């Protein structure tokens, strides 16, 4: 059975004390509850150490929102995989549409980052998704095909099996518009078919594929019920503990 995962992307929200409050509330809420999903939170860099300490002894795991593809060096303002590991990160979000569109990250850069994360022992949460224009032009599958093949280019099947994929249609991120469960399922199924073609049936059945894009307590259950949707990458709604917990329990 595939892993079921709910991941929260805090984006550029929460200073240190706000992070402490949010994570403390979350830990208290989930404490002693029988949750059958893995929970990952991805705070900003400045809160990682403190959040890592607060998560110690809990089942909630820690991820970062980005990293550089080099080991170290003259890259002012960047963070390395080793630095993330040293503060307790197990996961790193890579290829998020905000990194692609606002910061100009290409498929080539994302591929380098995925390789570097895997080499360092971090698990990439590899994001992909189409714009509204691409969907309306009927080229969603072409876009996804390209993002998948470029993102995992030259990776061994063993390494591919370590990653988590997140399908996040750009038009649904932070907009309040969600893909219908059927639209999301269709793309998830397509991603699985690409993994089957490029690797094997086992690999296509093994890799968790999360949906992201305005997942909220009122739509999570229908989305998560779909066969090929193994969890959610949650932005806005993970900043409110009640909403995030209700998605985790959906």
Q: Which residues are catalytic?
A: 96, 168
Query: How far is it, in rounded angstroms, from Cα 79 to Cα 59?
Result: 25
130 is a contact residue toward ligand PEP (CB under 6 A): no
Q: Give min distance, CB of 126 to ligand PEP, in A.
A: 12
Q: Does 9 bind ligand PEP (CB under 6 A)?
A: yes
Nearer to ligand PEP, 1 or 102 (CB): 102
Using CB under 6 A as the binding rule, the residues of this chain from 136 to 195 that contact ligand PEP are 168, 173-174
Distance, in Å, from the CA atom of 37 to the CA atom of 165, rounded to the nearest integer, reads: 16
- Residue 244 Cβ, how far from ligand PEP at the closest point, in Å? 10
By the rule CB under 6 A, 64 interacts with ligand PEP: no
* Residue in 247, 243, 239, 245 with CA at minimum distance from that of residue 220: 247
Please give the structure tokens belonging to residue 87: 């503060």
Ranked by CB distance to ligand PEP, the top (closest) residue is: 235
Nearer to ligand PEP, 199 or 216 (CB): 216
3-state DSSP call for residue 83? helix
Strand partners, 174: none
**Residue count, binding to ligand PEP (CB under 6 A):** 13
If the CB atoms of residues 148 and 237 are measured against ligand PEP, the closer one turns out to be 237
∠ CA 165-161-188, rounded to 5°: 35
CA distance 236 to 243: 9
Residue 165, burial from CB neighbour count under 10 angstroms (0-12, 13-18, 19+): buried
Which two tokens mark 129?
Answer: 């998704």
Q: Please give the residues from 207 up to 236 whose contact with ligand PEP meets the rule CB under 6 A.
A: 212-215, 233-236
Return residues touching ligand PEP (CB under 6 A): 9, 168, 173-174, 212-215, 233-237
């Amino acid at each position: 059975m595939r892993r079921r995962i709910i991941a929260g992307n805090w984006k550029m929200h929460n200073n240190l004390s706000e992070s402490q409050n949010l994570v403390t509330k979350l830990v208290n809420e989930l404490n002693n509850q029988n949750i059958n999903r893995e929970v990952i939170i991805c705070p900003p860099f400045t809160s990682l150490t403190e959040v890592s300490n607060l998560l110690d002894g809990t089942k909630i795991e820690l991820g970062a929102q980005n990293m550089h593809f080099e080991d170290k060096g003259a890259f002012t303002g960047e963070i390395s995989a080793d630095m993330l590991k040293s503060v307790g990160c197990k996961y790193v979000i890579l290829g998020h549409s905000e990194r692609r569109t606002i910061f100009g990250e290409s498929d080539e850069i994302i591929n380098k980052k995925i390789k570097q994360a895997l080499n360092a022992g971090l698990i990439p949460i590899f994001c992909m998704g189409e714009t509204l224009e691409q969907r309306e032009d009927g080229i969603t599958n072409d876009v996804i095909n390209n993002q998948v093949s470029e993102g995992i280019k030259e990776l061994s099947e063993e390494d591919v099996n370590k990653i988590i994929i997140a399908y996040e249609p750009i038009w649904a991120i932070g907009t309040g518009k969600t893909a219908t469960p059927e639209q999301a399922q269709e793309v998830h199924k397509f991603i699985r078919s690409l993994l089957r073609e490029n690797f094997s049936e086992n690999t296509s059945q093994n890799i968790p594929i999360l949906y992201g894009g305005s997942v909220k307590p009122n739509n999570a259950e229908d989305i998560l019920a779909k066969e090929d949707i193994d969890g959610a990458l949650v932005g806005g709604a993970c900043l409110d503990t009640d909403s995030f917990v209700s998605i985790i329990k959906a």
